[in-house]
Structures are given as C-alpha cells and as structure tokens.
Amino acid sequence: MERQVVSIQPEGKSAFNVLFNPTQYGIDKSNQIAEAAVPGLSAPILQFVHGNTRTLSMELFFDTYEERSDVRTHTDKVYDLLNIDASTHVPPICRVAWGDFNFRGVLDHVSGKFTLFLANGTPARATLSVTFKEFIDVEHLVKVNPTQSADHTKTRVVKTGDRIDIIAAEEYGDPGKWRPIADANNLDDPCRLRPGARLVIPAIK
C-alpha cells in the first residue's frame, strides 16, 4: 500500500508534499458570544453573535541533512503561501490533503525553528508550526445557513438587554436603520424596550 503524505496545493498551482507526515493535527471551531450585563442578575445574559472560522493547526517537519542540502528549499514553499497573489491581491487559497482528510483554507500563521546545520551554516532541519483558516464560498454559506430576508415583514420578541440599534444590526445588517422599527411600532422612546414585548420588523428595500 502506497504511503499517504501531506500534500498542499495552492489553487491554480502545482501541489507540493511535506517530507515527513505530522504526528497529529488539530481542528478548532468556536462561536462569538456577547455578554450583556443586567443590573440585579447574578450572571450576564449571553447572546450569540456569529460563528467563527474553523482552523487547522499542525507541525511540519523537514530534514535534508543526509542529502547535505538546504532545507529552505522546502520550507520556503510554505512561507510563500503567505505572499499576496499579484492577480487576486490576496494570499492563495490552499487545499491541504492527507489520505481522506481535506481542508480548504488560507495560511494564517507560520512559526519556524531551524535546529540542524551543515558545516557552512546552511540549515538542514526545520519544524514549522502552521495554522490555516478555513475558506468557504459565500454562496455555500447562504445555502447551508439560510437567513430570513430583510425584505419580508416579521416579528421579534424583545429580550432583556436588547437595544433597538442592536436589533437593527441583526435584522438589517446596519445599526443605523433602527428608525423603521421605531416607526412601525409607534415607539415613543426607542431607547427603552420592554422585555417580552413583540416588535414588528418591517420590510425594507
């Protein structure tokens, strides 16, 4: 059976292999949660803001001592993934593959250590700690997590700690668009929302 090696391929370019497979890799995923402190309560109210990007982290090992060659021939290929592409003005999107594991993302961070050298000072061994952030096309995100459109009227129950500008930001993507909500609900004081009240969220163009 042919040994599977870690392969990194920048989109539109040739793939290159890592000399030695890592002993492990890590996948991290988290959510952004906001805390709203309310006087009189023993703990803040938690509110989901958005999901964060998945990250892939691993250590890549390179050793060219037996070949008596410069290990930077290999490590520079990894560092080059941080460079801005002249045609797209952003770093390249890469596919990291190892057997049946595939991860599509952008290289976010590289930390390298060079630990063995030839007699003339040429580095021959290196370990690179790399972190990739997952890249997902916007069209795919919308299909997977469809949201209600701001062009349809709906209602929303006010929670403790809600503010009209925060509601406008979540519903319309712009905190400055709070006035249509105030007008639709005949709010005398938009700055004071009553928890439990049901607000009409009007359609906007």
Contact 171, 158 (CB under 8 A): no
Q: Which two tokens stand for residue 152?
A: 């349809």
Contact 108, 131 (CB under 8 A): yes
Q: What's the CATH fold of domain 7-141? A: Elongation Factor Tu (Ef-tu); domain 3 (2.40.30)
Number of C-beta neighbours around residue 91 at 10 A:
16
- pLDDT of residue 149 exceeding 60, the answer is no
Q: What is the pLDDT of residue 141?
A: 52
How many angstroms separate the CA atoms of 80 and 68, rounded?
23
Q: Does 3.40.1800.10 match the CATH number of domain 147-201?
A: no
Q: What is the pLDDT of residue 86?
A: 81
How many angstroms separate the CA atoms of 159 and 156, rounded?
9
Rounded to the nearest integer, the mean pLDDT of the chain is 86
Q: Which residue has the higher pLDDT, 36 or 143?
A: 36
Q: Stretch 187-195: mean pLDDT, rounded?
A: 85
Parse the chain into domains and list their residue ranges.
Answer: 7-141, 147-201
How many angstroms separate the CA atoms of 186 and 181, rounded?
9
- Predicted TM-score (pTM) of the model is 0.65
Number of C-beta neighbours around residue 134 at 10 A:
15
- Residues 106-130 have pLDDT tens digits of 999 999 999 999 999 999 999 999 9
How many angstroms separate the CA atoms of 38 and 21, rounded?
51
Contact 202, 180 (CB under 8 A): yes
